[in-house]
Structure 1
């Protein structure tokens, strides 16, 4: 039986032939396992669409929850009509989704997102295909998924904090790190340390979908990353970066995800040493923005610096050159410390500045992983980077406030900014430190 969360359809890739799938009137429709997936063949006796139907029962639907149906289909003749329904499996057959599409002779994918009006454990996904002529429709894949913010964000079971806990279960700091950091959802970062980015992104997003939660990912492999600073590295060439982006996007598949795109890359763009380097940065940012924007279930947020870095008009100009028109989403304060209200105000200013230059309706998220005490130290000085003392965990990943779409833990609490500030020895950027984690928990 299919589950309540994640992928609700069993054998939706037809690896087990037609198992779990039924066909209606045997004189009008038959299903069989074919080389391309499931072959459904209607006879001339099937005059109306509903005369030839097939599908799967036992679908669990919850009222008010958002679902996404995806299918890939082709037909033996052009302009074949196919009615797609997600509905009650018995009278009165009320439908939560009812679409009629035209299928051609080449594989075509369809994606439909809907909010269920039904609350049932006996739902049904069905397809109707009577054409009054013999026709075969081949389904390569069918998926019905629910992964929305309403269902929650995915908790990374292999975060750096979780790995440290596995190795240090008796450490006196372990209980508070486990309870306050490791059990809360934050972003998984992917970069030049990721051995096979397509496979690892696929594995991570699939695990989130199976749990019915939304994964937060950070793509962090920009060519000349961090402009050679503490987090230097990234793709060795622009061409290598584009290839990496293609693999990252392929790993997402057709599943929901939140992707934070290349922190600091656009805010730092004008500090690159040559006009050619700056032009390349904007080109690569536009490339990844467009690639992610082509995924309808992915929310991609481009780097927009922080409230104390660039003025809104300047940051907006750099966002435009970096492809924000494709995603219409930006991320503010990644790995920073500015309080949520200050970041919200900056986000609202950026939204207005972008609208003024022809990019309206932009949404933003804020990194709240370390902003619980804001960014002012005891001497009234603004702290911006490199493991400063006196910082505290902020609001855990949640629905946003103050105009923000979401508040997210993007920087993983306890992961070092580099060998600086209060970081102990041997804690380069990205390394988990229980010392830093405890200081964030205690606000010291």
Structure 2
């Protein structure tokens, strides 16, 4: 193994040393092929499902690692050397959720999804792929001012149908439409956007190995109002899904999401939707802060403009959080006993959904941000 290969494997080797993951195949076998050709040779295998969450569909299988140009971190990683390459490995070689949205035409989405699946699974039918479906038009701010046209509604449903058909029996975890709380601001309280999300949740969940998590913001976004979140989740189809996702695009703590998620699960059960689980985005909350804290200290800047950490002692800044895993109750995460117990029962996994190494989470790849977010993370 040459020095650069040894360095690029350091991040995953560190996780293996903690007993959180195993690497398949071995690092030595994976290094035998050129880096540009090793699409998913360093897949990450998750531990078996725990007795507290025996039906966890994300556990006990390898999580595919996409390694190609559609990941903005991949080319910078390939071109890096030395310590920079070793640091970027924490991002480039981590199993992450890839966004699929309206920027990919309906005519191209089948090929794009299939190419992603083929790359991430590397032909392993047991491997899990992760997708973020962000296809709603209009959404976010625009969703507050107009409703989808009839043509846009038909296009959305066609897009969902194509994604579902393309996935087939692939093992997939789908985070459905980040920033779910924008359902609160649709004009005239129209049910149309929620109806479309419900269609997506039902259609995607009908595939034999697809687990859907309907995204519903963060504890700090809802100001700890679980009944409000449960109501919107029901309207968006959580009754058809495995559960819901929290903290995508926010930077709030894992502990607060566990508490909030448990309250949502309880509220859903009281509303006739029992046995729901959730996932938490940990890509950017290594040094967590709430939206309220951020807006108090940065009143003129939107939340996506939050800065990366600049030193090991800094708090309330953006750093990568807990690495993707189903070992949600590990002592390495520093959770209280009560939160550990709750996580092991209700949380299917910590996923990397957001992309904090991009400018404002959606722009171009920022080497400076990426390196700082890894170097100053307490989990790397």
* Superposed pair shares fold, TM > 0.5: yes
TM-score w.r.t. the length of structure 2 is 0.68
CA contact (8 A) 2:98 2:131 kept: yes
Per-residue deviation, residues 173-200 of structure 1 (Å, max 9, x unmatched): 7424432211111111111222511122
Distance 2:215 2:285 in 1: 17
Q: Is 1:417 equivalent to 2:350 in the alignment? A: no
**Larger RCO: 1 or 2 (CA < 8 Å, sep 6+):** 2
Q: Is 1:201 equivalent to 2:109 in the alignment? A: no
Q: How does 1:388-399 map to 2 (within 5 A)?
A: 388-389=306-307, 390-399=317-326
Q: Show the counterpart of 1:57.
A: none
1:150 to 44, 60, 66: 60
Q: Show the counterpart of 2:369.
A: 436
Distance 1:407 1:386 in 2: 21
Taking a change above 3 Å as real, the CA distance of residues 279 and 382 of structure 1, as seen in their structure-2 partners, is: farther
For structure 2, list consecutive stretches of 5 or more residues without a partner in the other structure. 1-23, 26-46, 50-54, 308-316, 330-342
Q: Show the counterpart of 1:182.
A: 92
Distance 2:170 2:278 in 1: 21
Q: Show the counterpart of 1:269.
A: 183
CA contact (8 A) 2:286 2:321 kept: yes
Instruction: Decide which moves more: 200-209 or 216-225.
Output: 200-209
Per-residue deviation, residues 120-162 of structure 1 (Å, max 9, x unmatched): xxxxxxxxxxxxxxxxxxxxxxxxxxx9632331112021100
Distance 1:303 1:382 in 2: 27
Root-mean-square deviation (CA), in Å? 3.2
1:363 to 277, 283, 295: 277
1:242 to 157, 169, 177: 157
Taking a change above 3 Å as real, the CA distance of residues 248 and 179 of structure 1, as seen in their structure-2 partners, is: same
Distance 1:409 1:205 in 2: 17
- The Cα shift of 1:443 comes to 3.4
**Alignment: residue pair count:** 286
User: 3-state DSSP class of the match of 1:156?
Assistant: coil
Per-residue deviation, residues 88-108 of structure 1 (Å, max 9, x unmatched): xxxxxxxxxxxxxxxxxxxxx
- The Cα shift of 1:292 comes to 1.0
Greater strand fraction, Structure 1 or Structure 2: 1
Distance 1:382 1:336 in 2: 16
User: 3-state DSSP class of the match of 2:221?
Assistant: coil
CA contact (8 A) 1:202 1:253 kept: no
- The Cα shift of 1:280 comes to 1.0
Q: How does 1:60-139 map to 2 (within 5 A)?
A: none
Distance 1:394 1:301 in 2: 20
Distance 2:58 2:109 in 1: 24
1:287 to 175, 199, 205: 199
- The Cα shift of 1:361 comes to 0.6
CA contact (8 A) 1:187 1:412 kept: no
CA contact (8 A) 2:88 2:371 kept: no
Q: Is 1:349 equivalent to 2:349 in the alignment? A: no
Greater helix fraction, Structure 1 or Structure 2: 2
- Report runs of 4+ in structure 1 exceeding 3 Å deviation: 206-209, 379-384
CA contact (8 A) 2:216 2:245 kept: yes
- The Cα shift of 1:207 comes to 3.4
Distance 1:318 1:438 in 2: 37
Distance 1:150 1:387 in 2: 37
CA contact (8 A) 2:220 2:290 kept: no
Q: Show the counterpart of 1:385.
A: 303
Taking a change above 3 Å as real, the CA distance of residues 430 and 302 of structure 1, as seen in their structure-2 partners, is: farther
2:77 to 162, 165, 183: 165
For structure 1, list consecutive stretches of 5 or more residues without a partner in the other structure. 7-63, 67-114, 116-146, 419-428
Distance 2:363 2:163 in 1: 20
Instruction: Decide which moves more: 206-215 or 408-417.
Output: 206-215
Taking a change above 3 Å as real, the CA distance of residues 192 and 430 of structure 1, as seen in their structure-2 partners, is: farther
CA contact (8 A) 1:398 1:408 kept: yes
